[in-house]
């Protein structure tokens, strides 16, 4: 009987301890939470400082995060959304579901970026990645790509931030000629996937000659696999930048813990995990620097619309893309 009472007492204490441990829920994209993504290392590092339970919840690709938050509204269980980008900031702010962060961060971003609600955690340039052994002389512009018979894999702009970034890249580079360019490119597109992972996997399997990804994607193959066969094609028009951000939901029941996480996000413990897990440039260059190969394919010209400009261009750019692909 005494052993039973002791066991019951220990179980009660353990249950109380678990109940008292605050939980911080971060909604993010699938690849961030994968075993090879930054999630596991960041979870361990933050939990070592917060006396909390950090839970990353995957919700598809980047653009799908906003759709989920819009659907759930104030009833969402998430405290933070991590993985939106500058193309979605205006739409996310308009939901009035996010709270101002009240911070004045210092970053090493190559452009000036400040927002009262969203904080950056990484950035990169979109690019078409290819295998040098299969395609030694890649096209050097969108027009050259459209004039070729190369097969490309891209992502759906309605669910994927790279997919939306491609629309804005074409729009920023070609303006009123964007619709014509999409018509010319439509024959090159062999698949449109919901997210980045599916498209990149098809490229690696040889189903496409080029895939929409990032200038830093070849660095993964070089560092992690000792494979120098992957490259990013540098386009004369320049390359569109992506700045990924995180924001605190106004309805969070853990506001102090959410603020603590946002502060942690810009520390070396978080930022040093980004280059070799998310394979993006961190928002703050880590003390140890960047891995080999990160600057091998560095564009000479950057393109980036402000959040307001991106929001204004989005619907027309999407309509042009849909019209071209439905021919």
Q: Which two tokens stand for residue 218?
A: 């070849």
Residue 208: closest CA among 193, 189, 181, 235: 189
pLDDT at 292: 82
- Structural domain boundaries in the chain: 20-123+242-282, 125-241+295-325
Same fold across 20-123+242-282 and 125-241+295-325: yes
Is the pLDDT reported for residue 37 higher than 80?
yes
Residues facing residue 122 across a β-bridge:
244, 282
This model's pTM is above 0.75: yes
What is d(CA 282, CA 28) in angstroms, rounded to the nearest whole number? 17
Is the pLDDT reported for residue 5 higher than 80?
no
pLDDT digit string, tens, across residues 207-222: 999 999 999 999 999 9
pLDDT at 17: 47
Residues facing residue 247 across a β-bridge:
81, 118
pLDDT at 9: 52
Q: Which two tokens stand for residue 200?
A: 């990149």
**Three-state DSSP class for 58?**
strand
Please measure the distance between the N-terminal and C-terminal CA atoms of the chain and give it in whole angstroms: 78
Q: What is the CATH number of domain 20-123+242-282?
A: 3.40.190.10
Residue 20: band (very low, low, confident or very high) from pLDDT cuts 50, 70, 90: confident
* Chain-centre distance for alpha carbon 173: 22
What is d(CA 110, CA 115) in angstroms, rounded to the nearest whole number? 16
Residue 276: closest CA among 234, 233, 221: 221
pLDDT digit string, tens, across residues 253-281: 999 999 999 999 999 999 999 999 999 99
Q: Which two tokens stand for residue 269?
A: 């413990």
What is the overall mean pLDDT for the chain? 93
Is the pLDDT reported for residue 6 higher than 80?
no
Which residue matches tokens 């609600």? 117
Burial state string for 219-240 with b = 16 or more CB within 10 A and e = fewer than 16: bbbbbeeeeeebbbbbbebbbb
Would you say 52 and 22 are in contact if contact means Cβ atoms under 8 Å apart?
A: yes
Is the pLDDT reported for residue 13 higher than 50?
no
Q: What is the CATH number of domain 125-241+295-325?
A: 3.40.190.10
pLDDT digit string, tens, across residues 123-154: 999 999 999 999 999 999 999 999 999 999 99
């Amino acid at each position: 009987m005494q052993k039973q009472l002791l066991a019951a007492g220990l179980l009660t204490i353990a249950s109380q301890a678990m109940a008292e441990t605050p939980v911080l829920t971060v909604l993010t994209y699938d690849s961030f939470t994968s075993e090879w993504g930054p999630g596991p290392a960041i979870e361990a590092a933050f939990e070592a400082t917060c006396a909390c339970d950090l839970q990353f919840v995957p919700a598809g690709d980047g653009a799908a995060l906003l759709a989920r938050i819009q659907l759930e509204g104030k009833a969402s269980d998430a405290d933070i959304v991590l993985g939106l980008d500058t193309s979605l900031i205006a739409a996310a702010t308009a939901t009035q579901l996010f709270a101002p962060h009240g911070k004045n961060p210092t970053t090493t971003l190559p452009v000036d970026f400040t927002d009262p609600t969203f904080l950056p955690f990484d950035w990169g340039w979109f690019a078409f990645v290819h295998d040098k052994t299969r395609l030694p002389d890649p096209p050097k512009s969108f027009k050259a790509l459209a004039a070729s018979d190369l097969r490309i894999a891209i992502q759906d702009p309605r669910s994927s931030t790279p997919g939306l970034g491609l629309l804005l890249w074409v729009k920023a580079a070609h303006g009123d000629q964007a619709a014509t360019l999409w018509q010319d490119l439509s024959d090159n597109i062999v698949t449109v996937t919901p997210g980045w992972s599916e498209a990149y996997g098809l490229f690696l399997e040889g189903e496409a000659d080029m895939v929409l990804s990032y200038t830093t994607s070849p660095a993964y193959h070089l560092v992690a696999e000792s494979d120098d066969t992957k490259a990013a094609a540098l386009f004369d028009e320049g390359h569109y930048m992506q700045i990924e951000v995180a924001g605190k939901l106004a309805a969070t029941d853990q506001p102090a813990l959410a603020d603590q996480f946002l502060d942690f996000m810009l520390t070396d413990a978080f930022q040093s995990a980004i280059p070799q897990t998310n394979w993006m440039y961190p928002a703050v260059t880590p003390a140890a620097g960047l891995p080999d190969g990160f600057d091998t394919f560095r564009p000479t010209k950057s393109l980036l619309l402000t959040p307001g400009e991106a929001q204004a261009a989005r619907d027309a750019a999407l309509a042009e893309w849909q019209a071209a692909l439905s021919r």
